[in-house]
């Protein structure tokens, strides 16, 4: 190409680009970005990622495209390191997120509340916390830590799985290599049970299970099925419901401040609506009589073990010192309030 025609072409391209950008910006209130980044650990095949998609779609619809959110599953904005997600939100590397209380607990110690072994016996207990005074307190703490919390979602009750044998008693965990997430509380819990816990990200967990570098892991069954963990050797599931991780819908504070009050109200309501829907998806097959999801998992060739109350109690007893140690670290007042709210649940 001759230099002159190259210059002409470049000018034309630049002019077109300017028109394009100008056009998009003309429709946006001042200070709005053409696109906002939402961080998630898992994609839309999982209830968690689906929740993100629902939130983004509701916001786009209700703001007529003024707020356009793109999903970044796999915590891609922090190179897969889920324990750095909260810091990245605060710093503005991430605009919005739906995060697990576990992944943000390295920065916000109060979020370890939900990881206290055997604090929450059932779904009503989770709701009693998230929908009550404790939930408000936790939101105030997240706010103070630097991100604006808008709504609750749910990853779910985390069940233990492994490649070796059915786990019915703490002794069955003896020496088993278990992948855990990045809060030291999990190391304490599994050490107390005689297992050999090792911390790694979700991205690293799947190859580690596939290669047999670890024997087991703990995650909600919706994660188990969507990630097809039976194909990486996880043939045994024990329903012990030892902890559950809620999800929190948040927005970076500067981003929030850049939106009009009307759009802020839309984003907040959309988070609440998406959160409700997401919780229902996360509980599907588990909160109906007969728990049909368990039969689906058994049909994959997986042995599903349900514990008697006495069998479960052995795990509660073995982890009680961990509960007490972490109660002191989380804040005895908050833990007492949580136990009271759970005892009073309807």
- In the complex, the residues that contact ligand X2X under the rule CB under 6 A are 41-42, 82, 100, 102-103, 155, 181, 202, 219, 223, 245
| Spatial distance between the Cα atoms of 218 and 96, rounded to a whole number of angstroms | 26
For residues 241-280, b (16+ Cβ closer than 10 Å) or e, as one string? Answer: bbbbbbbbbbbbeebbebbeeebbebbbebbeebbebbbe
Is 215 or 245 the residue whose CB approaches ligand X2X more closely? 245
Is 201 or 319 the residue whose CB approaches ligand X2X more closely? 201
Q: What CA–CA distances, in Å, run from 241 to 71, 117, 122, 262, 313? A: 30, 9, 8, 41, 12
**Distance in Å from the first CA to the final CA of the chain:** 76
The angle at the Cα of 66, spanning 62 to 70, to the nearest 5 degrees, equals 90
CB of residue 340 vs ligand X2X: minimum separation in angstroms? 27
Is 118 or 202 the residue whose CB approaches ligand X2X more closely? 202
Task: Give the other-Cβ count within 10 Å of 324's Cβ.
Answer: 12
Going by C-alpha positions, the residue among 167, 184, 177 that lies closest to residue 205 is 177
Q: What is residue 69's three-state secondary structure?
A: strand
CB of residue 158 vs ligand X2X: minimum separation in angstroms? 7
Is 223 or 330 the residue whose CB approaches ligand X2X more closely? 223
CB of residue 13 vs ligand X2X: minimum separation in angstroms? 43
Q: Do the strands 147-162 and 216-219 form a parallel or antiparallel pair, or are they unpaired?
A: antiparallel
Is 155 or 319 the residue whose CB approaches ligand X2X more closely? 155
Going by C-alpha positions, the residue among 54, 191, 331, 99 that lies closest to residue 178 is 191
CB of residue 100 vs ligand X2X: minimum separation in angstroms? 4
CB of residue 42 vs ligand X2X: minimum separation in angstroms? 6
What residue spans of 74-130 are helical by DSSP H?
85-91, 101-104, 123-130
DSSP 69-100: EEEE-TTGGGTT-GGGHHHHHHHTS-SEEEEE
Residue showing the smallest CB distance to ligand X2X in the complex: 202
CB of residue 227 vs ligand X2X: minimum separation in angstroms? 9
Return left, alpha or beta for 31; rule: phi > 0 is left, psi -120 to 50 is alpha, else beta: left
CB of residue 325 vs ligand X2X: minimum separation in angstroms? 21
Is 41 or 279 the residue whose CB approaches ligand X2X more closely? 41
Is 67 or 195 the residue whose CB approaches ligand X2X more closely? 195
CB of residue 248 vs ligand X2X: minimum separation in angstroms? 12
Q: Which residues pair with 247 in a beta bridge?
A: 100, 153
Is 96 or 267 the residue whose CB approaches ligand X2X more closely? 96
CB of residue 99 vs ligand X2X: minimum separation in angstroms? 8
| Spatial distance between the Cα atoms of 183 and 167, rounded to a whole number of angstroms | 23
Q: How far is CA 341 from the centre of its chain?
A: 23
Is 62 or 84 the residue whose CB approaches ligand X2X more closely? 84
């Amino acid at each position: 190409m001759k230099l002159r025609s190259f210059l002409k072409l470049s000018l034309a391209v630049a002019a077109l680009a300017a028109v394009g950008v100008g056009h998009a910006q003309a429709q946006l209130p001042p200070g709005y970005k053409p696109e906002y980044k939402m961080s998630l650990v898992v994609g839309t095949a999982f209830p968690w990622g689906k929740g993100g998609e629902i939130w983004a779609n509701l916001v786009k619809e209700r703001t007529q495209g003024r707020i356009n959110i793109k999903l970044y599953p796999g915590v891609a904005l922090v190179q897969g390191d889920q324990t750095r997600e909260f810091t990245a939100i605060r710093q503005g590397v991430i605009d919005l997120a739906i995060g697990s209380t576990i992944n943000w607990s390295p920065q916000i110690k109060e979020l370890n509340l939900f990881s206290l072994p055997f604090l929450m016996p059932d779904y009503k207990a989770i709701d009693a916390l998230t929908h009550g005074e404790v939930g408000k307190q936790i939101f105030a703490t997240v706010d103070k830590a630097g991100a604006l919390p808008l709504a609750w979602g749910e990853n779910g009750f985390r069940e233990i799985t492994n490649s070796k044998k059915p786990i019915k008693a703490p002794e069955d965990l003896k020496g088993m290599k278990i992948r855990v997430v990045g809060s030291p509380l999990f190391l304490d819990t599994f050490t107390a049970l005689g297992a050999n816990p090792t911390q790694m990200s979700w991205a690293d967990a799947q190859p580690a299970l596939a290669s047999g570098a670890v024997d087991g892991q703990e995650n909600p069954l919706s994660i188990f099925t969507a990630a097809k963990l039976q194909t990486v050797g996880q043939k045994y599931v024990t329903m012990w419901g030892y902890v559950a991780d809620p999800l929190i819908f948040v927005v970076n504070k500067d981003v929030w401040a850049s939106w009009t009050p009307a759009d802020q109200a839309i984003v907040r309501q959309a988070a609440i609506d998406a959160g409700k829907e997401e919780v229902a998806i996360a509980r599907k097959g588990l909160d109906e009589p007969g728990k049909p999801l368990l039969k689906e998992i058994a049909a994959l060739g997986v042995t599903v073990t349900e514990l008697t109350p006495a069998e479960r109690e052995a795990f509660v007893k073995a982890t009680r010192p961990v509960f007490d140690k972490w109660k002191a670290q989380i804040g005895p007042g908050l833990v007492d309030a949580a136990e009271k709210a759970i005892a009073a649940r309807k």
